[in-house]
Amino acid sequence: MPTPIRTTATRKLRTLLAALLPLLAALLVAAPTAAARTDAADAVPTATLTEVTDFGTNPSNLRMYVYVPAGVTANPAVLVAVHWCTGSGPDMYNGTEYDTLADQYGFVVVYPSVTRSSKCFDVSSPQALRRDGGSDPVGIRSMVDWVTRTYDADTGRVFATGISSGAMMTNVLLGDYPDVFAAGAAFSGVPFGCFATTDGAEWNSACANGTVTHTPQQWGDLVRGAYPGYSGPRPRMQLWHGTEDDVLRHPNLGEMIKQWTNVPGVSQTPAATDTPQSGWTRTRYGGTGDRAPVEAISLQGVGHNLYGYGMAARVLAFFGLDSGGPAPQPQPGACKVTATTNAWNTGLTASVTITNTGTTAINGWRLGFTLPAGQSITSGWGATYAPAAGAVTGSSAPYNAVLAPGASVSIGYQADHTGNSAAPGAFTLGGTACASG
């Protein structure tokens, strides 16, 4: 369990401020920022951790705690902060600094809390690993919906972060609800589906020990199977792991990288590698900035309880919440891709048209997509394709590298198949999700 970072004196000061704020607010002539709420009758006291009951469908009897800053913005972002095994929502509140950052940037923090005896989140049952299947993810989704209704929250800026069991739940939430969560940050977790069991057990030793390995395609298929048919943008993921983790061992970091690069279809080759702090190795995939599709931080010589003061600020930078404004999430619109296939017994040709729907030229494009299971590219034109199967990146040729605003380029490939001859269902251009048409 992480050591709480907040001192007793700080807690007393916060309690005093929480008591004074309503009195100060009564003296103000201007209406408070929180007037943006759409259901003021349900609003909670500001600047203090408050439990909310009757928040919606809650099949596993979770408890909901919420922190609303006194300066909550209109249409605020929502951050779901998920605790570790044996912990609770109040423990997560006390042991992290997300509430003080909410004071600074005006977002709302939700702290789910487990009531089952283990105090671990369900990340293993078949119900938890599918959208609206039941168990903890459904209750957490209800908490998000409650905040959205009550504070008219920005549904495009909902995020999840967690530690240990909460990190595993962060992976599950992003898999079950890719249309709800824009990004996640997992501290000492495992891939979506890695902890799966069918006998009711909450613990999966093989996964915890880092011995469960899959191909990127297999990991990605587990995520896609949680919400079959979904073809919209996928959440971005930030991953933190210590090399000496003896609870959820370090190989799980590599497996999560495989999974969360495959899901949006970005390359598993880092676009950037650096050392933001001594002993840290940070790799970014599908982009080089603070908001790349996937960011992984490996902490040399650090064990399971790696979360420390200052890391939450890096989470907010990845989410785009450190500016108080909307993060530039990879949403459809900067590009448009159409794809069709012409198939025969065991082969197919695919025709792909890429259109730059943005306002600036693209110089040197990289098209990411995931081939359906059983397909393997044998040749192509208009781009260089690698690898041949799974999460593929098509890189521009010298003669078509510049794509002006409104311009299109046609490329294609030939592939073998074992029965599924469909075109890929989603594409990204430079890590940005493209509209289909």
Whether the predicted pLDDT of 16 surpasses 50 = no
User: Per-residue pLDDT tens for 47-82?
Assistant: 999 999 999 999 999 999 999 999 999 999 999 999
| One-character DSSP codes across 326-359 | ------TTSEEEEEEEEE-SSEEEEEEEEEE-SS
User: Per-residue pLDDT tens for 188-225?
Assistant: 999 999 999 988 899 999 999 999 999 999 999 999 99
Q: Does the annotation mark 124 as catalytic?
A: no
**Beta-carbon-side half-sphere exposure of residue 329 (alpha carbons within 13 Å):** 27
How many Å apart are CA 50 and CA 396, to the nearest integer? 53
Question: Are residues 241 and 252 in contact, defined by beta-carbon separation less than 8 angstroms?
Answer: yes
Write down the pLDDT at residue 39.
55
Question: Which one is catalytic: 125, 164, 396, 421?
Answer: 164
Question: Are residues 300 and 240 in contact, defined by beta-carbon separation less than 8 angstroms?
Answer: no
How many Å apart are CA 35 and CA 73, to the nearest integer? 9
Of 16-20, 125-129, 163-167, the poorest mean pLDDT is in: 16-20
Whether the predicted pLDDT of 365 surpasses 90 = no
Write down the pLDDT at residue 35.
34
Spatial neighbors of 386 by CB under 8 A, at least 6 apart, are: 392, 393, 395
Write down the pLDDT at residue 131.
98
Write down the pLDDT at residue 362.
82
Q: What's the distance, CA 409 to chain centroid?
A: 31
Whether the predicted pLDDT of 183 surpasses 90 = yes
What percent of the chain clears pLDDT 90, i.e. is strictly above it? 72
Top pLDDT among 367 and 171 is at: 171
Tell me which amino acid residue 160 is.
A
Of 32-36, 160-164, 432-436, the poorest mean pLDDT is in: 32-36
Q: Is 227 exposed, middle or buried (0-12, 13-18, 19+ CB in 10 A)?
A: middle
Closest Cα partner for 235 from 129, 315, 156? Answer: 156
Q: What backbone phi and psi angles, to 5 degrees, belong to 205?
A: -65, -40
Write down the pLDDT at residue 200.
87
Write down the pLDDT at residue 246.
97
Write down the pLDDT at residue 41.
56
Write down the pLDDT at residue 359.
76
How many Å apart are CA 320 and CA 63, to the nearest integer? 28
Write down the pLDDT at residue 118.
92
How many Å apart are CA 296 and CA 304, to the nearest integer? 16
Tell me which amino acid residue 198 is.
T
- Overall pTM > 0.85: no
What pLDDT band is residue 366 in, cutting at 50, 70 and 90?
A: confident
